[in-house]
Amino acid sequence: MQLFYAPDFVAPECVLPEEESAHAVRVLRLAEGDRLHVTDGRGTVYLCEITDASPKRCAVRVLSSSAGEFDIPYRLVMAVAPPKSIDRYEWFLEKATEIGVTEIVPLLCEHSERRAIKPERERKVIVAAVKQSLKSVCPVLRDMTPFEAFVSEPFEGRRFIAHCDEPIHAKRYVGSILKPGENALIMVGPEGDFSPEEIRRAVECGFEEITLGNQRLRTETAAVFGAAAVSVINNM
């Protein structure tokens, strides 16, 4: 199954974005009358027929629609400080999207070495992963968000901070405390970890301290591990 992404899709007829049109017509050589699947990124997959095979404005007509088959039944927000290497952050974006995540928040922390990202470039990485993994919901990528502003935001669900420092209260493994179906927010810090003040502030705001195991993990690996742990909990 080949999945195309059209965030502005409006049934029963629609024109695919130029990049998607070119891929359908020039790369895959689809023609009028051929069928393809399109997602709007909001939870619906449409089976469509091509009515105009233009490589710049490929028009389609909806034949049927259905809810996404591989989307997650819970909300997962991953707030992760981008590492110095943007390639490593893009690897996290790709893998987290494939595993299943609702929202991704690039965190700006005290020890952050990377203090900016290119949102449009990173959204393309996410969209490519959505299509590859046949997701019908496209994760939201927020702009770079300062730590202090983020920890003060409300969230309906469990909020966790993964860190390597000594715990203020106690650190538990996320897989032992999160229940299936619970919404979760997991924060992962930069290469230098969260500062002691940031950890204290997060705990004051109601975050639970967690560990992702005894092994030492890179930022992006820890973030993918966290997303995978939540997925495992919900698929047991």
Question: So where are the chain's domains?
Answer: 3-67, 76-233
Find the mean pLDDT for residues 167-171: 91
Mean pLDDT, residues 60-75 taken together? 90
| Statement: residue 236 has pLDDT above 80 | no
183-203 tens-digit pLDDT: 999 999 999 999 999 999 999
Q: Report whether 182 contacts 158 (CB < 8 A).
A: yes
Q: Does the domain spanning 3-67 belong to CATH 3.10.310.40?
A: no
Cα–Cα distance between 61 and 52 in angstroms, integer?
10
Q: Which CATH superfamily is domain 76-233 in?
A: SPOUT methyltransferase, trefoil knot domain (3.40.1280.10)
pTM of the model: 0.92
pLDDT tens-digit readout, 199-217: 999 999 999 999 988 888 9
Cα–Cα separations (whole angstroms), residue 29 to 23, 39, 209: 8, 20, 52
**Interacting residues of 22 by C-beta distance below 8 A, sequence separation 6+:** 55, 56
Among the listed residues 105, 198, 225, the one whose alpha carbon sits nearest the alpha carbon of residue 155: 105
Most confident range, picked from 64-68, 143-147, 172-176: 143-147
Pairing of strands 3-5, 76-80: unpaired
Compute CA distances 24 → 3, 41, 55, 176, whole Å.
10, 18, 7, 45
| Type of residue at 101 | V
In which band, very low, low, confident or very high, does the pLDDT at 109 lie, cut at 50, 70 and 90?
A: very high
| Mean pLDDT value across residues 39-56 | 95
